[in-house]
Amino acid sequence: MSKKEFKRESKEKKPVLAICYDFDKTLSPDDMQAQGYIQSVGYDVGDFWTESNELAENNEMDQNLAYMYKMVQEAEGNLIFKKKTLEDYGAKVNLFPGVGDWFERICEYGTDHGVIVEHYIISSGLKEMIEGTSVARKGAFKKIYASSFYYDPRTGVAKWPAQVVNYTNKTQFLFRIEKGILDINDQGVNDSFAPEEMRVPFRNMVYIGDSDTDIPCMKLVNSYGGHSIGVYNAATNDKSKVYKMMHDGRIKYYAPADYSEGTQLDNLVKSIINRTAANEALEEFFYQCKKENFEADKQNSEEGRKKTDLLIALEGSGNFATTHSTIKELNSFKNWTPDEKELLFKIAVENSQVFYVLGDLDVKLFYQNVLMDTQNYSENAKKVKVEIEK
């Protein structure tokens, strides 16, 4: 078992809004592999994907593993397949309008409105290529969850898939973000957390995607009160996918994939930040009330247990000292239920030791107070009243 100590994110004093993005056709107009790499190994883009998908179908293989295998296979004789190679191709990936300054600008808007904004990538694309993009190099992303390779420590050449992210397992990363347990090998993600302990509750998550592969994440975020946004390429104005996702209840909003300031998407995300600030102020007040109520319930339960112990002590009292010391402690309680009062009267009548000292000042005053707001006198109550009024 690994002895590695994982770094975990702690809950912040300010609310955290996590914006999670697919990459291909969400932040970039095309698949990242189709923007230089596929061409460099002598393939037509369409033919590459056709053969990759056939490889998956013919071998009951995950489609992402199939394209990763094919990338390595076709690199032979054409290029040395290293991490740096993929990062260099990533640097050439085109981004939608406004993406270049989007992440920093949205974080600043969040800061101005009392919300910490964090950006996450959850993609079936390649982590190494995403890390090579200009925005990733500037530190835009809190964490990049994407498919990646293991590299031979001697040669630096890719040897095996290290991580494969597909549409069915994307949702696990949302739970990691929720709890602040970001390392993919940290099993603490399975630990139970109270709702108020969640670092990023689902209501404070935004998922931005473009297609069916994003649906599980969108559905999960939606079902817990978060915000899912479908984006489409403004250049083609093809809204067929976002229309379908909207019709099927997968997304709450859709907008062109233009991240420039003042655009529909920009205004939408800023509105979500504004709503998060207001909503979390209410949530904080709710948890304060809940905590106070819990402490009151806890105190009441402790009070009830102490009352019970003292009533038992009074009922079994066999000497003056015990009776007087118990009455002294009972005097600290001001509120008595009808059942508790009746038990006090019953003890006074049936325990001769208690009945004998009903005329003593401390005992007399205690029972006078108990009788004071009693509505209907029982037989025992009447006997106590007569005795203390002698």
Q: Tens of pLDDT along 136-164?
A: 999 999 999 999 999 999 999 999 999 99
Average pLDDT over residues 63-83: 93
Q: 282-308: buried (b, 16+ CB within 10 Å) or exposed (e) per residue?
A: ebeeeeeeeeeeeeeeeeeeeeeeebe
Distance between CA atoms of 27 and 134, rounded to whole angstroms?
Answer: 12
Q: What is the 3-state secondary structure (H, E, C) of the chain?
A: CCCCCCCCCCCCCCCEEEEEECCECCCECCCHHHCCHHHHCCCCHHHHHHHHHHHHHHCCCCHHHHHHHHHHHHHCCCCCCEHHHHHHHHCCCCCCCCHHHHHHHHHHHHHHCCCEEEEEEEEEEEHHHHHCCHHHHCCCCCEEEEEEEEECCCCCEEEEEEECCCCCCCHHHHHHHHHCCCCCCCHHHHCCCCHHHCCCCHHHEEEEECCHHHHHHHHHHHHCCCEEEEEECCCCCCCHHHHHHHHCCCCCEEEECCCCCCCHHHHHHHHHHHHHHHHHHHHHHHHHHHHHHHHHHHHHHHHHHHHHHHHHHHHCCCCHHHHHHHHHHHCCCCCCCHHHHHHHHHHHHHCHHHHHCCCCHHHHHHHHHHHHCCCCCCHHHHHHHHHHCC
Q: For residue 74, what are the CA distances in angstroms to 30, 47, 71, 114?
A: 20, 13, 5, 50
On the question of pLDDT at 297 being above 60, the answer is: yes
Distance between CA atoms of 364 and 355, rounded to whole angstroms?
Answer: 10
pLDDT at 390: 82
Average pLDDT over residues 279-291: 88
What length does the chain have? 390
Contact yes or no for 147/23 (Cβ under 8 A): no
Q: How confident is the model at residue 296 (pLDDT cuts 50, 70, 90)?
A: confident
Distance between CA atoms of 299 and 371, rounded to whole angstroms?
Answer: 25
| 218 contact partners, CB below 8 Å, separation of at least 6 | 207, 209, 228, 230, 245, 250, 251
Q: How confident is the model at residue 374 (pLDDT cuts 50, 70, 90)?
A: confident
pLDDT at 318: 85
Average pLDDT over residues 81-104: 96
- Looking at the DSSP assignment, which residues form a beta bridge with residue 163? 148
Q: What is the mean pLDDT of the chain?
A: 92
Distance between CA atoms of 207 and 227, rounded to whole angstroms?
Answer: 6
Contact yes or no for 49/33 (Cβ under 8 A): no
pLDDT at 2: 55
| 9-13, 56-60, 238-242, 296-300: least confident range | 296-300
> Phi first, then psi: what are they for 139, rounded to 5°?
80, 30
pLDDT at 89: 96
Distance between CA atoms of 125 and 67, rounded to whole angstroms?
Answer: 10
Distance between CA atoms of 17 and 172, rounded to whole angstroms?
Answer: 18
* Residue range 113-135, pLDDT digits in tens: 999 999 999 999 999 999 999 99
Task: Return the sign of the alpha-carbon dihedral for residues 9, 11, 15, 17.
Answer: positive
pLDDT at 3: 66
Residue of 340, 343, 313 whose CA lies nearest to 329: 313
On the question of pLDDT at 358 being above 80, the answer is: yes
Task: Return the sign of the alpha-carbon dihedral for residues 268, 272, 277, 281.
Answer: positive
Task: Please indicate, yes or no, whether the overall pTM of this predicted structure exceeds 0.75.
Answer: yes
pLDDT at 194: 83
Locus of tokens 């397992």: 169
On the question of pLDDT at 302 being above 90, the answer is: no
Q: What is the 3-state secondary structure (H, E, C) of 378-390?
A: CHHHHHHHHHHCC
Distance between CA atoms of 54 and 343, rounded to whole angstroms?
Answer: 82
Q: How confident is the model at residue 26 (pLDDT cuts 50, 70, 90)?
A: very high
pLDDT at 308: 86
pLDDT at 284: 87
On the question of pLDDT at 50 being above 90, the answer is: yes
Average pLDDT over residues 258-266: 97
Average pLDDT over residues 356-373: 91
Residue of 215, 203, 205, 204 whose CA lies nearest to 246: 215
* Residue range 218-254, pLDDT digits in tens: 999 999 999 999 999 999 999 999 999 999 999 999 9
